[in-house]
Chain A
């Protein structure tokens, strides 16, 4: 339980807690275990890139839960849909993708991502109105219905794009790596980290410095009170849902380019990591989600190097450990229950 009085400062009260130090702590432990600094830098970059992408996909889910107590198991559908739309656009722009100039490549990817976000956001709106709206306040039905929605979307993707995995090679300018002596930094991962940081910064600023952000945070804290004060939390919620879906679509495009292949069930398989992240972070908390995503991304890459067989198991162990320490997650923000 939260203390009755907590005074939110512009930076949030969590700055004082040891929680944010977990990420550097994990990095230091990994440095000792991995041994070679150049390998460690590569792994850390890979982990951060993966974490950023998971954060982009997970942030919408956690806010949606925090605001309206809606648990959307169909979130993965937006990820898959975004990836397929994005790839379709990029294939259509293949001259830009094939050209050697970085600007053309980024233009094609950017346009693909933009269309993917618009489509995923629009689809999110429809999904919320038709699938989720009738089951507000009933977790059991929410889980069942959104799971059903997920299955249907996955099958519809099969109908339109066929059952085979679609390979999506990265354009030339994003292949390969920057090398500084021993240290190898893969270009695409650097891009993913940059995009992730920009989105996190934009989201933090929106949440902390704007009226809408204030309302969203207040809604997570106590939705009824916000409504009592005359704000339409339902409309706010839809806006958050649409933005969250759009971000999931963006994350899908990025994840697809990262794996260099897209399949209809990819959303579902990423959802497993996303759930772990959201639980670790504390349902409803964006900062917690960010930290959780970085922890899971780093943990996955370090584990894949140190003990390849337990990569996914390591995230679950991490989740168990964190729940033992903080049963509500790292930085719980949602209502008591």
Chain B
């Protein structure tokens, strides 16, 4: 029953889905021991961070039915907050705290302003306004290079406890050194788990139910007596705040923050794909979506490379399958999944008899 409470009473409700999620969570929890090596640890940490980012986006897209293109901006605000604090004040926990508070506050404030502006008028303005504001923000960041490092981004020291030089305990467990990298990974994992459970709590609260009501029929929700603008604005702010926290995690993990890793439109597209593939309107979808997508990102490119090499000599086809064109196939997949599986992997699994 404690487990039920931890999940806010929202269990996966499908045996296969439960199996998959437990599998992913266990794999992530023991990733440093199961998949040794820097690259796989990096992949695991990325999955943790993206689960939070995608889940926070799903709060907007899947639960409230608002399309935002500024999610990477909020992500970037968190990351740049920490990055700027760490590179100017040196690698201490004080700087991390200051950067986090600054970044998150700015993200929530900006989200509130955008939300009040565009949602007050028409909800569909929101998609267009966020796209405009986010691109202006990306340009601003590259222009303010003396603060943000411009296109090159910022590299900085993280607190000593998170750096590879730090030794938690002398010696190894299962051939894995207990160093700062491990501490850092578990910081990512536990923060991600905590934020995910928090979001699960939010969407299963009375507040979350109102959001779903707004998604299903905003006019009716308004008629019942809920001020939908307020609910939409709060959801936007909440989602922006969590995205900024995910940005903080990203900044701490990579020890580098730049436009490519946080702000680019490609990341926004990735997030959209993860939400849709995993399943809109279920937070569990973010776990599946992020994991599948990030694994596919590596795997798909290799498959495409094979096809491209097998078809050398034929017209056009090798170009269509060149590894750099993987976004093409993801785009096609995206369109098909919006048509045929609007509820994503999770919806499919839940739809089948339990």
Q: Is the CB of A148 within 8 A of B338?
A: yes
Does B129 sit within 8 A of A, measured CB to CB? yes
Q: Is the CB of A144 within 8 A of B128?
A: no
Q: Is the CB of A313 within 8 A of B140?
A: yes
Instruction: Indicate which residue in A139, A144, A156, A272 contacts B338 across the interface (CB closer than 8 Å).
Output: A144
B136-159 contacts to A, CB under 8 A, are 136, 139-140, 143
Q: Is the CB of A144 within 8 A of B122?
A: no
Interface of A is mostly: helix
User: Given the complex of chains A and B, what is the CA–CA distance between A159 and B330 in angstroms?
Assistant: 15
Does A15 sit within 8 A of B, measured CB to CB? no
The stretch that binds B, out of A20-28, A79-87, A237-245, A273-281, is A273-281
Instruction: Indicate which residue in B129, B316, B319, B335 contacts A279 across the interface (CB closer than 8 Å).
Output: B129
User: Given the complex of chains A and B, what is the CA–CA distance between A3 and B127 in angstroms?
Assistant: 28
Report the nearest A residue to B318, measured CB to CB.
A159
User: Given the complex of chains A and B, what is the CA–CA distance between A80 and B140 in angstroms?
Assistant: 25
Q: Is the CB of A279 within 8 A of B128?
A: yes
A contact residues around B120 at 8 Å (CB): 327
User: Given the complex of chains A and B, what is the CA–CA distance between A156 and B140 in angstroms?
Assistant: 30
User: Given the complex of chains A and B, what is the CA–CA distance between A268 and B69 in angstroms?
Assistant: 13
Q: Is the CB of B334 within 8 A of A272?
A: no
Q: Is the CB of A159 within 8 A of B320?
A: yes
Q: Is the CB of A309 within 8 A of B127?
A: no
CB distance from A103 to the nearest CB of B (A): 37
Does B276 sit within 8 A of A, measured CB to CB? yes
* Chain B 64-76 interface mask (CB, 8 Å, partner A; 1/0): 0101000000000
Report the nearest A residue to B62, measured CB to CB.
A140
Q: Is the CB of B335 within 8 A of A149?
A: yes
Report the nearest B residue to A144, measured CB to CB.
B338
User: Given the complex of chains A and B, what is the CA–CA distance between A79 and B141 in angstroms?
Assistant: 27
CB distance from A1 to the nearest CB of B (A): 13
A contact residues around B330 at 8 Å (CB): 151
A contact residues around B122 at 8 Å (CB): 283, 328, 337
Report the nearest B residue to A146, measured CB to CB.
B335
User: Given the complex of chains A and B, what is the CA–CA distance between A337 and B327 in angstroms?
Assistant: 34
Q: Is the CB of B121 within 8 A of A152?
A: no
The stretch that binds B, out of A30-38, A199-207, A316-324, is A316-324
Report the nearest A residue to B321, measured CB to CB.
A159
Q: Is the CB of A139 within 8 A of B128?
A: no
Instruction: Indicate which residue in A135, A309, A316 contacts B143 across the interface (CB closer than 8 Å).
Output: A309
* Chain A 260-295 interface mask (CB, 8 Å, partner B; 1/0): 000000001101100110110001000000000000
Interface size of A in residues (CB-CB distance below 8 Å): 42
Does A155 sit within 8 A of B, measured CB to CB? yes
Given A312-B135, A320-B117, decide whether A143 and B127 contact each other with a Cβ distance below 8 A.
yes
User: Given the complex of chains A and B, what is the CA–CA distance between A151 and B270 in angstroms?
Assistant: 11
Q: Is the CB of B124 within 8 A of A276?
A: no
User: Given the complex of chains A and B, what is the CA–CA distance between A328 and B125 in angstroms?
Assistant: 10
Q: Is the CB of A323 within 8 A of B135?
A: no
Report the nearest A residue to B335, measured CB to CB.
A148
Q: Is the CB of B67 within 8 A of A144?
A: yes
CB distance from B40 to the nearest CB of A (A): 29
**Residue among A155, A156, A268 with the highest chain B CB neighbour number at 10 A:** A155
Report the nearest B residue to A271, measured CB to CB.
B131
Q: Is the CB of A145 within 8 A of B338?
A: yes
Report the nearest B residue to A130, measured CB to CB.
B335
B contact residues around A143 at 8 Å (CB): 67, 124, 127
Report the nearest B residue to A140, measured CB to CB.
B65
B contact residues around A141 at 8 Å (CB): 338, 342
CB distance from B108 to the nearest CB of A (A): 19
Given A152-B332, A309-B143, decide whether A159 and B319 contact each other with a Cβ distance below 8 A.
yes
* Chain B 324-341 interface mask (CB, 8 Å, partner A; 1/0): 110110111011001100
CB distance from B254 to the nearest CB of A (A): 25
Q: Is the CB of B67 within 8 A of A140?
A: yes
User: Given the complex of chains A and B, what is the CA–CA distance between A135 and B340 in angstroms?
Assistant: 12
Q: Is the CB of B127 within 8 A of A73?
A: yes
A contact residues around B125 at 8 Å (CB): 279
B contact residues around A151 at 8 Å (CB): 269, 327-328, 330-331, 334
Q: Is the CB of B140 within 8 A of A144?
A: no
A contact residues around B65 at 8 Å (CB): 140
B247-283 contacts to A, CB under 8 A, are 265, 269, 272, 276
Instruction: Indicate which residue in B117, B123, B124, B327 contacts A323 across the interface (CB closer than 8 Å).
Output: B117
Q: Is the CB of B339 within 8 A of A134?
A: yes
Does B132 sit within 8 A of A, measured CB to CB? yes
Report the nearest B residue to A315, measured CB to CB.
B132
B contact residues around A313 at 8 Å (CB): 136, 140
User: Given the complex of chains A and B, what is the CA–CA distance between A279 and B260 in angstroms?
Assistant: 29
A contact residues around B198 at 8 Å (CB): none
Q: Is the CB of A316 within 8 A of B328?
A: no
**Residue among A71, A147, A276 with the highest chain B CB neighbour number at 10 A:** A147
A101-148 contacts to B, CB under 8 A, are 131, 134-135, 139-141, 143-145, 147-148
User: Given the complex of chains A and B, what is the CA–CA distance between A319 and B331 in angstroms?
Assistant: 31
**Residue among A139, A149, A152, A163 with the highest chain B CB neighbour number at 10 A:** A152
Residues of A within 8 A of B (CB): 71, 73, 131, 134-135, 139-141, 143-145, 147-149, 151-152, 155-156, 158-160, 163, 268-269, 271-272, 275-276, 278-279, 283, 309, 312-313, 315-316, 319-320, 323, 327-328, 337
What are 14 residue pairs bridging A and B, where the CB atoms are less than 8 Å apart in the complex?
A: A134-B339, A140-B61, A140-B67, A144-B276, A145-B335, A145-B339, A147-B269, A151-B327, A269-B135, A279-B125, A279-B128, A309-B143, A312-B135, A323-B118
Assuming A323-B121, A327-B121, what are 5 further A-B pairs, CB within 8 angstroms? A139-B67, A144-B272, A144-B334, A158-B325, A319-B129
Q: 4 closest A-B pairs (Cβ-Cβ)?
A: A155-B328, A151-B331, A275-B128, A152-B331
